[in-house]
Structure formats: C-alpha cells, structure tokens
Amino acid sequence: MSKKSKIFLSGVVEGFYGRPWTMTQRKELFRREQKWGLNTYLYAPKDDYKHRMYWRDLYSLEEADQLMTLISAAEEHHVEFIYALSPGLDITFSNPKEVAALKRKLSQVCEFGCRSFALLFDDIETEMCAADKEAFSSFAEAQVSVTNEVFRHLEEPEIFLFCPTDYCAAFCTPSVPLSSYLNTVGEKLNPAIDILWTGPKVVSNHISVASIEEVSSVLRRPPVIWDNIHANDYDPQRVFLGPFKNRPTELIPKLRGVLTNPNCEFEPNFVAVHTLATWCKSNSGQKDVSMDVEDQGSDYNPHEALQLALTDWLVEFGQADQPDGSRSRGSRSKRDASEEEPMQTDGYVPGPKDNPLYTAEPLTLSDLTLLSELFYLPYEHGPTALRMLQELHWLRSNSDAATFGTTATESEKVQEWRQRAEKFDDMCGAVVQMFNRLSNAPNRIILYDLYNYICDIKSGVSMARAFIKTLGGLTPHPAMIINDDPEPWGFRGGLSGEFQRMLPCHGNRDLFRTPPATRVYTIRPYTPKDQSEVLKLFKEMQSESLQKVELVGDRLVEGHITPSQNCSAILEDVSGVCGYVFALTDAKTAVTEALYPKTMLQDYPSVIAIQIHPNVPDPTAVKRLIGHVLSSLRDSGSSGVFSEFRSNDRRMLDFLKTLNLFQVLQVNGLPTDLVVMGTKL
C-alpha cells in the first residue's frame, strides 16, 4: 500500500437518517474542514434513495452534474471525497447480476472524478436468502467475497472502507474476540480495505485504548472510527453541542481515522466538527496525522476545545445571511460580529412620552456556553444543566420548607429554601435571556436549525420556574399555572412522551443514575419450598436455548448438586419467583476438570448459575441479587467465580453484559456451543 493511504482520515460522515444536507451546506463543510485541518468527507446519507434503497439505479444527468460539482469542491478544499453505497437491504450476494450492478454503479461514480469508496452493510437483517446460503458458509463470507471483488474491479483504490453489520462491540456474540462474524471479516477481507467501527456501542460514551487494541487484533488492522457521539437522528428532541470527548488522544496512532457522524441539522455541527479537529491535532501537532506517529502525549482539554469552538461560532452568528443563502464574510471584526444588531431604518424617532425603540441585546459567549451546556452530549448534561436539575430536585424534595408570608417561621431550612429558589429563578432567567438573544441574532440560518430546540428548552424551564414560584407562594404567569386543566405546553412529548413516562427507564440518568423501579422486588434466601417455582422458571428459559450441552447450573437447579451455604438466593415479585442464583464455592467438585485448565480453576475456583425472567426490566434488582451471592463467595475465601451459558442464549449474555459484573473468558478447547463468563472477587 502506498504511503498516501496511511494518512490518518479525519473529518465527517454524512451518515444519519433524515433529510440529507444540501449541496451548499456540503460545500460550506469542505471550507470548514480545510480551515480546521480535517481531510475527509464520507458521503452516506441514509435517506438518499440512490445511496441505499435504490442503490442499483444509476444517476441521471442532473444528479451526475451535482455529484461532479461536489467532488470537485471537495478536491478544491483538499478534502478526500469518499462515496459510499449501502446495498445490504436486498442484495443477493451470490447473484452475478447483483455484483455487476454494484460494479456498474461505482464505475459511474468513478467517472465523476471520485477515487475513494465505501461499501456499508450496517443496520440490515442478518438472515441470508436461500441462494446465498447455498453459495456461502456465513453472512460475513458473503459480504467479504463481494467487497473484495468490487475492490479489485475498482483497481484497488487507496481509500476503500467497509462497514460490517456487527459494527460495535455490543453487536458481537458472545464477545469481540470470539465473534465468528468479525473473525471472518478480519481473516478474509482484503488487508488494504479499512473497516469502520463505532466502539463499544452504537453511540459510545467512552472509547478506550484497550477496546481498540482488542478489535484491531480481531480485524487484523486498525479501524476507522465512525463516531456517533454527536448523532441525534434517534431523538428529535435532542441536539448535541458539547465537545468531542471521552476518547483519549493516545488512540490516534492506533486508529486509521476518526469520522464524526453528527447532528442531522447542519449548522449545530460547528462545535462537533471544530472540537474533533482540535482533538486530531492535539496528539501530533500536524494537520495530517501519520499512522507511524509515536504517542507524544495529550494536550487536549475538552472544555478548552469547546470554548475555542464557541468563540469562532459566535462570529458566525454575527454574520447576516443573504437571501440566496450566502453570507457576508470578513467585513467585520469579532467585536462587531457579536455586538452589531439589526437597526430600524425608517427614520422614526420616539417622543419623550413614547415607548423607546426595541433594542436587541447582543449574543455573548456566555449565552453560547449556556446553550452548549443545555444540549451537551448523549450521556451527560453540561454543568449548568446538571446544577439546574439538582436545584429543582432539592427544592421539590424540601417543599415543606417553602413557607412564605408574615407567619412563616424563619428557620435555617426556610432561609435556605428561599435562597436556592431565588438562585434557581436566576438560572431560569438566564435561559430565557439566552433564547431572546439567539432569536435576535443576525444569522437566521443558524437560528432556524436551532429554533425548535431552544424553544422547547425555554418552555420546559419556564414551567419549572413557575412551579417553584407556586411552591413559594408566588403567582406565576396565568399561562404557566400548573393545574388539572393545563395548556397543551403543560404536557409535552405527545404520544411518544406518554409511552416514555410509562417505562421504568424514563428519567434523568445524570441525576438519578438508577431509574426508579415500577415493581417491588424481594431478594431472599432459597428454601426447599421454592423448588417447584425455580424448576418452572428453569424449564421455561431452557426452551429458549440449545439442549445439547449440559451446564453445571442445570444440576444445581435440578437438585443433583447442593449449593454452598449462603450461596443461593431468589428474586421474587408479586407474581412469584422471577430469578435465581445458585453457587458452589469449589467448582472442581462439579465440573469436568479436563474441560477447564487448572490455571482457570485457580483464578476462578467457584461456579455460579444465574437465571432471570425476561419480564424483569430493572437491572438494579438483579445486580443486588447477584451481588448478595458474590459477597457470600468472597466471604468464604473465593478469589473468583465463573458461569456457563449456552452460546445461543443471547438474551442472558446480552443482559449480563449490561450489568458490567462479568466478562467473557477465553478458554482454549471449550465446545463451540459453550460460553463462559467470569469475574474476580
């Protein structure tokens, strides 16, 4: 492979569901990428018919002209244009006509001047059709075979990306190292083809060096991160204006590249793309990061990167958009851009007793910082938003102290409640002020992309503000009074909101890390009277999985082996037994020692059997149940415990992954239909 293909790919993937960006917006993106030192754009809008649904159709003359113009604009700004095609919805991999259609479509784009390509097989069904089952041994082999053939047909372009169906660790069964799909891709995909990866999850909160080293080993190459941390196509009420974070810059020399798949709305992505550019440069100090660069330490600070981005964005807000969508540039200083406002020019001068002319307050950096903190990142609110939630929670929880009037007892708690209520009111006022300033900013293009979001947060904050005033004995505006017959804005979210409020996981995960349970669970020791209900649950869950392999847990549940003292527990709700845990402190008394190496039994001397009914939605109760038995094992002197599962018991394997209590153990010589998970005590 040539040296050029080793350049670190950094930039943007337009890969979201929803209305694609316009040609004008994409050209503006190229300008920003060049200015900030990014070098790549991946064209993959999910709702472009000829990218995904009608992938076989060639482009018309008018469409071809648009794409050629776009490719030329990217080249002009030194941005690599990667054209992606997503044939996975309905392609028959074994049909030569289908492969020919793929080649024909990409050859047409080649004629437009495009030199870099991608095939994407994300978000599709994994069941092969009958013809493909006859031709290929697995879904991965089918994808790899066609991808390799298309790659050769295009004369092995220097940049060619492949998006697997299992594109994050959460999709890999039973784990990344043991995924047959990923191992096939790593082994058989042409080594010159790069592979896209989103991290531990579809939207990954953190991406660690260890996780990238793990997947790189399986893929036999460093991945290109398709980063969804700023994607918002799954939630129309959220936009993400926080910095690129929770990705250590030590990742850079271990990756082939990072492409952000940001918000559907174009203008709010100023922060996402700007901070990504700062992150990319922080480790190497140069625009194009070579894969050979040694780790030089990180000087990336997400808060500082955010302030840099917001400072530049403030200038954009001050540039009035033109009727044709273009903007005036370079005619004003930063001070002018942030302070100059539209002026009334009809010559009217109010008299001494008339109302003065309305003067819009200028948008400030503090306003944009507040905006960013209100719409921060998927897994966390910004500091100000979190403080507002905490204050509202405290004020409501301590509403007994909200006694105002001449007869109020001036206790310390009453004084504290008043002070915190005033503080909360000021914070709400700052949100309303930010909304008003944004609404009057000269750049209406940015405003219109943000308007629904800032209008929504202003309304929500205003209702919370009115509620606290009511608790404090004050009378809010009539439109904000909370009663049994509210205005429509008093019950937000429509039908979707009603559904969410009925789910146990609904609520603020930053303030309430454990969502409130909707059921009452009892955790208690197992007694012989529970045997019939335990066996009923055991047999019901056994029907979900293979019967070929016998587990130690089967014998524990059926009573052939007696659990160790204090090592059996039951989870119970109003319907009866809905979960159980049984354990043996000394696994050697029950397992076939030839199956497990001595070193493993030394590290994990105990064995545990776990079963939870699928109707148990609350992970907290399950964690407590398992934790009770783990604590007993630890007290008995055990240093570790393992548990056996049938490999197709996907439900339990996935559920235990979410608890973060156990990890999949790699044990040589295990039957393929057996998965072992364990944890140190």
Q: CB 216: neighbour CB atoms within 10 A?
A: 18
Q: In what order do the strands lie in the sheet with 576-584?
A: 522-525, 568-573, 576-584, 606-612, 640-646, 674-680, 663-664
Of 681, 607, 671, 579, whose CA–CA distance to 178 is shortest? Answer: 671
Q: What DSSP string runs through 521-542?
A: -EEEE--GGGHHHHHHHHHHHH
What span, in angstroms and rounded, lies between the C-alpha atoms of 108 and 99?
A: 14
- For tokens 């105990």, the residue is 606
Of 554, 255, 232, whose CA–CA distance to 378 is shortest? Answer: 232
Burial class from Cβ neighbours inside 10 Å (0-12, 13-18, 19+) for residue 466 reads buried
Give the three-state DSSP class for 375: coil
Helix H or strand E segment including 680: strand 674-680
Q: First CA to last CA across the chain, in angstroms?
A: 47
CA of residue 600 relative to chain centroid, distance: 35
Are 258 and 197 a contacting pair, CB within 8 Å?
Answer: no
CA of residue 234 relative to chain centroid, distance: 10
**CA separation, residue 289 to residues 9, 10, 279, 293 (Å):** 8, 9, 11, 7
Phi, psi of 52 (to 5 degrees): -130, -65
Q: What DSSP string runs through 558-576?
A: HTSSPPPTT-EEEEEETTE
* 123 is an active site residue: yes
DSSP-assigned beta bridge partners for residue 642: 607, 678
Catalytic residue among 123, 449, 456, 510: 123
Structure-token pair, residue 299: 């000087």
Are 469 and 476 a contacting pair, CB within 8 Å?
Answer: yes
What span, in angstroms and rounded, lies between the C-alpha atoms of 679 and 537?
A: 25
Amino acid identity for residue 670 in this structure: L
Alpha helices in 318-443 (DSSP H): 334-339, 365-374, 383-397, 412-439
What span, in angstroms and rounded, lies between the C-alpha atoms of 521 and 625?
A: 10
Q: What DSSP string runs through 157-214?
A: -S-EEEE-SS-SGGGSSS-TTT-HHHHHHHHHS-TTSEEEE--SSSS-S---HHHHHH
Q: What DSSP string runs through 102-149?
A: HHHHHHHHHHTT--EEEEE--S---PPPHHHHHH-SSHHHHHHHHHHH
Of 77, 20, 78, 9, whose CA–CA distance to 45 is shortest? Answer: 20
Structure-token pair, residue 445: 């293009």
Structure-token pair, residue 298: 């990180």
Q: What DSSP string runs through 228-294?
A: -TT--TT-TT----S-S-SS-GGGGGG-SEEEE---SSSTTHHHHHHHHHHHHHHHHSSSS-BTTPP
The catalytic residue positions are 123
